């Protein structure tokens, strides 16, 4: 069944767990996430980026997710991830998305507020929840104190932003980053900053760039020809602590990509005569499903459907 992010995240924040928001690109990733949610009896968010819409087509990818949601006996939200402008948000709302993210983090504060308010004014009357972002995701471990403060989410600014935009959920920057190479040194999130933000605003918070980059997947990919040495993600103990401090949605993309790619490489290497896409992509789908199930257990959403 299709629901909004807000429907899933408000009870998650209240009860101390988080919802996995998994980036999907094709039939295999959608099936993997749906099957994981059904088997774990977990609510789930399937999210689609503008680049995936360009790759797969809005009608194709949205209808695949709608079909999965209709067949699944668990709540499923269909979410636009990192919508960069008003137009893409409107297109996704019109296509049946139940939640959209408008990412104005590249703008100055007032421009971000104005863009977010505009999207909220369109989405709310249609029952669509809105996520926004304040702060910027980047590798910050080697920056100066002043540079870190400029990138990470300022708690007082977060209060003002939420009051002015009336956004449903807020993505905060506390030291995570996108991709497989999140840290050059020891991984460390600014959990004290997160605690202060959570105390000051009363809406669910979102953590982007939170893949843990399991080393067994990296090793498997490298064994079969990938070049991923040094890939490092967010330690699971820090993810658990972030959930206890108000994080109710955690975005996962890199870990699914790594599982898919490592498995495709393995199958092609071990079965060089195989040219059946089902026998290549099927194991890759199963690998993504196992990763998704592990995240649901880590986030505490198992059995919450």
The residues that are catalytic are 81
Task: Compute the distance between CA of residue 275 and CA of residue 300 in angstroms, rounded to an integer.
Answer: 39
Count of Cβ atoms closer than 10 Å to residue 51 Cβ:
11
Residues 6+ apart with CB under 8 A from 107: 115
Q: Which residue has the tokens 């602590």?
A: 241
Please tell me the distance from the alpha carbon of residue 100 to that of residue 250, in angstroms, as a whole number.
Answer: 15
Residue ranges of E strands in the chain: 2-3, 19-23, 44-48, 76-83, 99-102, 129-134, 169-172, 205-207, 247-252
Quote the tokens at residue 213: 């980059």
Residue listed under structure tokens 């949601």: 69
Rg (CA), the chain: 19
Question: What is the C-alpha end-to-end distance of the chain, expressed in Å?
Answer: 11
């Amino acid at each position: 069944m299709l629901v909004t992010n807000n429907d899933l995240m408000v009870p998650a924040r209240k009860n101390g767990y988080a919802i996995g928001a998994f980036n999907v690109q094709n039939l295999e990733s959608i099936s993997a996430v749906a099957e994981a949610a059904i088997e774990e009896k977990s609510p789930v968010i399937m999210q689609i980026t503008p680049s995936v819409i360009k790759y797969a087509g809005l009608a194709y990818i949205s209808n695949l997710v709608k079909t999965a949601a209709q067949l699944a006996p668990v709540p499923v939200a269909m979410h636009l991830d990192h919508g960069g402008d008003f137009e893409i948000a409107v297109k996704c709302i019109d296509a049946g998305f139940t939640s959209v993210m408008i990412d104005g983090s590249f703008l100055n504060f007032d421009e971000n507020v104005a863009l977010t308010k505009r999207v909220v004014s369109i989405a709310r009357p249609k029952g669509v929840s809105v996520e926004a972002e304040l702060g910027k995701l980047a590798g910050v471990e080697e920056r100066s104190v002043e540079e870190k403060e400029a990138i990470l989410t300022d708690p007082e600014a977060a209060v003002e932003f939420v009051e002015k935009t009336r956004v449903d959920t807020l993505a905060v920057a506390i030291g995570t980053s996108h991709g497989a190479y999140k840290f050059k040194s020891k991984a460390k999130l600014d959990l004290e900053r997160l605690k202060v933000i959570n105390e000051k605003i009363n809406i669910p918070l979102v953590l982007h760039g939170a893949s843990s980059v399991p080393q067994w997947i990296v090793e498997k990919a490298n064994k079969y020809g990938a070049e991923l040495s040094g890939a490092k993600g967010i330690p699971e103990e820090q993810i658990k602590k972030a959930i206890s401090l108000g994080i109710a949605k955690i975005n996962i993309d890199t870990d699914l990509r790594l599982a898919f790619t490592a498995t495709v490489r393995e199958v092609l290497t071990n079965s060089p005569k195989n040219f059946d896409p089902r026998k290549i992509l099927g194991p890759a789908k199963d690998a993504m499903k196992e990763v998704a199930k592990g995240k649901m257990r880590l986030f505490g959403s198992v059995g919450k459907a």
